Amino acid sequence: MDKEEFERIKAEEKAHLRQLRQLKQTHRGAQRMASSAEALRKMRNEALESETDAMTDQLLRDAAHAEARFELATEGYAPQTGNAEDLDREDLAKAEAEALVRQMKAAMGGATPSIEEAAQNATDPAAPASATSPAGAKTIGRTPPPEDEPPADPAKSAKTIGRTPGT
């Protein structure tokens, strides 16, 4: 066996080992994918999925129904018939929605007047607009000085280093 033949056999062996390493990596990847797919298959719960789908469908139907009723109401074609129980439910839902809106606005810092204040302001047109805003409204930065105090004299309150002004 001469040197050229040895080098050729050595190169073939290296190519074979590279091919074997590539096949092993491919096999490990396929095993990982199969393991993940099996774990996912075991996690599925058909009964829970069907129940979730049914609930989602019901919510979509309810939303479409409410949207259609809203469109009819905005166009002036709202149905005038209905029993007292449905009207009570609607009034209760409206009241809850209004309370939720007031609560969210108050949480965001935009405090709104209560129902009593709004009714009083609606019936009393002479009420000032500032009466509806709370006295402790949130501000960003410094609070403005009260309006009844005159502005301070800058010459008296000026801070200096060294000599006093005017000397």
Ramachandran class of 139: left when φ > 0, alpha when ψ lies in -120 to 50, beta otherwise: beta
Residue 16, judged by CB atoms within 10 A of its CB (0-12, 13-18, 19+), counts as: exposed
Q: Which residue has the tokens 């092993």?
A: 24
Domain ranges of the chain: 1-44, 45-81, 84-122
pLDDT by position in tens, the chain (length 167): 799 999 999 999 999 999 999 999 999 999 999 999 999 988 888 888 889 999 999 999 999 999 988 888 888 775 555 566 666 778 888 888 888 888 888 877 755 555 555 555 555 444 444 444 445 556 677 776 667 655 555 555 556 677 666 65
**What amino acid is encoded at 26 in this protein?**
T
